[in-house]
Structure 1
Amino acid sequence: MKEILTNDEIDALLDLFQNEGMPDELEGVEEFGPDAVAFRRGGDVSPLDLLKPNRFTREQILAISRIQEMVARKLGGTVSDRLRLDASCDCVGVEQQRFSTWLSLLDNPIGVYLLESQQAETPMIMTISADLLYGAVDRILGGSGVVAALPKDLSEAEHTVSDAVVVPILDQLMAGLSEIFPIQAKIVARHTNPAMAQVLPLQEVVLSLHFQVAGNPLLGDIRVAIPYSVIEPHLESLSKSRYLTVAQRSGEFRGVLAKTLGLVELGVAIELGTAEISLADLLSLSVGDVITLPTHPGDDIEVPVQGHGKFRGRIGVQGGRYGARILSVLDNGDAA
């Protein structure tokens, strides 16, 4: 069946609508809305905002962030071991971005590594900032790690030397992703020009992982871009991840929290009443004067906690002391 109408067929279709009106089966269906598409295709249609890369849920991003925090600690240990210095690593960002946005964050020069995996049809990308990469090469070769001037490119021999730290870094990153789905990746290309990283469509949604390594004298960033299409088939397993389910256990820390907060002291001040006096009376007040209040024993009052009304009480006297009997708990809307 052909999908394009001829001019004569279009004219005939317009005449049909003008002379006979809208067919009964199309009544109530919006012309370009999701209902119209669902009607024509016989299925449900979910709205998709093409301008915002919202492919991952907040819970999924949270679970991935927890995994990457674990990866960051291992990366710090890897860098320390390989470069023989005291280094730390933090995961400073896990977010979903357009690939064009991710590319705009890259410096020039920068170490660009194209990654391929048998478990993914689309390539992934890892970048290491030039300061960290060149400093690592200098450190491995016996230097201090301080690079006075950044070269525009690394020689093949320098790339081979840098692999002593780059490959273990990649192994730790893949181990973190293996918490989501089994994956192993290898480096298939190395560049120092960020323009060579444009291996994905600019509108492709990627999961961006951002790590920052700090160790005197080295300081730099490690970034990873993982296409959404690589992770999408495995998002169902992510919802069952131990990093997500542990956080969702209802009341897991309730006992510890109640025991800790139970020792916190709170201020409770009961206002017995208010009175209005003239400015002249205020100025003439002296020691011994009495200001009468409109409240009496037995009147209902509001009992505030930390300045906010929480209870309804009744004024009374017990054992020669003024007090308030709690009558009810106030809802947020009941507080004055």
Structure 2
Amino acid sequence: MDEVLSQNEIDALLSAITSGEMNAEELKKEEQEKKVRVYDFKRALRFSKDQIRSISRIHENYARMLTTFFSSQLRSYVNITVTSVDQVPYEEFIRSIPKMTVLNVYSVAPLDGNLIMEVNPNIAYALLDRILGGKGNTINKSDSLTEIEKLLLSQIFEKAVGTLQEAWSSVIEIDPVLEEFEENPQFLRMVAPNETVVVVSLTTAIGETTGMINICIPHIILEPIIPKLSAHYWMQKTKTTRDNQAFTKMSKNLIQAEVELKTILGETTISINDFLKFDKDNIIALDQKIDSPLKLAVNNEPKFYVQPGKFKKRMSVQILEEINGVNEDDE
């Protein structure tokens, strides 16, 4: 795709040509010359921008649900947002994370392979502190986690699998299971070092502590569902057929719903001064004419023109016509 210039860049280019700093003929020659773009085969891009946007959309929803989950579990302020979605070699992802960190490895049946959730130590220790009754402060800790700390963290991330399942349900029904809990990324050999993975980075704040949660998704997981990550699939999915069973149930419930009917005999507007002067036997003139139809309101919304009368010795009204659009003024 050709590079699109911003308005400021266009103005600067025109100004340089006008002032003589740049020669238009030289620009034409450069445009005619064949340009060579450097391509790194070790970092082959296997996902289109459209597919990356779909993955980003899924995880934006996931970030919102994970925020709600952690907020309810920790009873503390939590905010999680998607910062970036990139495709990189697996080896580069492993090198980019700390030597000692928290790594949750999930299987996502029926898809093959495992995905990794890397939780920055700052966030992991803040989670621990909050679970144990603290304020959610992080701890400068160089040694590994204790068995109790590992158990507490693995339990909360096991509970969080429901949010991952729900976020991906728009594309495929998965059954995430926490398979491993590691601290050293060097022990993880899930795919080949040069295998392309998608890394979703989530900026996470727990109380006053901030850090990153990175989700690493190997290409082998996404390969069967790549067609579903295109914009065409999302557009097709929006054209869903009506669920007749749900429609029938909703219609039945609506039919049984009760509404309030009122017949408005007339209205008028007076001043506070006149209201204060009211006395017994005073008469209030309404805006309604005797020979004009009344209005029937359904839940305080005027819906029909009616005329009053009696039916089986009870006060009644007869519907004349429906009120369409803006209420009409009485003649």
TM range (shorter): 0.5 to 0.7
Pick the aligned partner of 2:46 from 44, 55, 66.
55
SS at match of 2:50: helix
Alignment of 1:39-54 (within 5 A): 50-54=41-45
The answer for the alignment partner of 2:203 in structure 1 is: 212
The answer for the alignment partner of 2:67 in structure 1 is: 76
Q: Percent identity?
A: 23
Give a deviation string over 1:265-295, Cα, whole Å, max 9, x none: xxxxxxxxxxxxxxxxxxxxxxxxxxxxxxx
RMSD value, Cα: 2.5
Instruction: Give, in whole Å, the separation in 2 of the partners of 1:77 and 1:241.
Output: 30
Relative to structure 1, the CA distance from residue 241 to residue 112 in structure 2 (aligned partners, 3 Å threshold; closer, same or farther) is farther
The answer for the alignment partner of 2:122 in structure 1 is: 131
Contact 2:198–2:218 (Cα < 8 Å) also in 1 = yes
The answer for the alignment partner of 2:304 in structure 1 is: none
Instruction: Give, in whole Å, the separation in 2 of the partners of 1:241 and 1:180.
Output: 13
SS at match of 1:120: coil
The answer for the alignment partner of 2:109 in structure 1 is: 118
Counterpart code for 1:230 = I
The answer for the alignment partner of 1:198 in structure 2 is: 189
Give a deviation string over 1:47-99, Cα, whole Å, max 9, x none: x9733331111111112212211111111111211111111111011121110
Structure 1: runs of 5 or more not aligned = 1-47, 248-336
Counterpart code for 2:140 = A
Contact 1:111–1:192 (Cα < 8 Å) also in 2 = yes
Give a deviation string over 1:153-201, Cα, whole Å, max 9, x none: 2222222212343224333233323332222221121111121233321
SS at match of 2:113: strand
Instruction: Give, in whole Å, the separation in 2 of the partners of 1:183 and 1:116.
Output: 9
Contact 1:116–1:123 (Cα < 8 Å) also in 2 = yes
Contact 1:131–1:150 (Cα < 8 Å) also in 2 = no
Corresponding pairs, count: 200
Q: Which moved more, 1:217-226 or 1:88-97?
A: 217-226
The answer for the alignment partner of 1:185 in structure 2 is: 176
Pick the aligned partner of 1:146 from 129, 137, 146.
137
SS at match of 1:66: helix
How far residue 244 of structure 1 moved from its aligned partner, in angstroms, is 6.1
Instruction: Give, in whole Å, the separation in 2 of the partners of 1:244 and 1:109.
Output: 43
Contact 1:129–1:220 (Cα < 8 Å) also in 2 = yes
Contact 1:116–1:122 (Cα < 8 Å) also in 2 = yes
Relative to structure 1, the CA distance from residue 65 to residue 129 in structure 2 (aligned partners, 3 Å threshold; closer, same or farther) is same
The answer for the alignment partner of 2:328 in structure 1 is: none
Contact 1:63–1:241 (Cα < 8 Å) also in 2 = no
The answer for the alignment partner of 1:257 in structure 2 is: none
What TM-score does the superposition give when structure 1 sets the normalisation length? 0.54
Give a deviation string over 1:196-229, Cα, whole Å, max 9, x none: 2333210111111111111323322111111111
The answer for the alignment partner of 1:221 in structure 2 is: 212
What TM-score does the superposition give when structure 2 sets the normalisation length? 0.55
Counterpart code for 1:189 = E
Contact 1:127–1:222 (Cα < 8 Å) also in 2 = yes
SS at match of 1:222: strand
The reply to whether residue 67 of structure 1 matches residue 31 of structure 2 is: no
Contact 1:59–1:244 (Cα < 8 Å) also in 2 = no
The answer for the alignment partner of 2:302 in structure 1 is: none
SS at match of 1:96: strand
The answer for the alignment partner of 1:98 in structure 2 is: 89
Alignment of 1:283-322 (within 5 A): none
Structure 2: runs of 5 or more not aligned = 1-38, 239-331
Q: Which moved more, 1:121-130 or 1:173-182?
A: 173-182
SS at match of 1:187: strand
Instruction: Give, in whole Å, the separation in 2 of the partners of 1:230 and 1:125.
Output: 12
How far residue 243 of structure 1 moved from its aligned partner, in angstroms, is 5.1
Counterpart code for 1:162 = L
SS at match of 2:119: strand
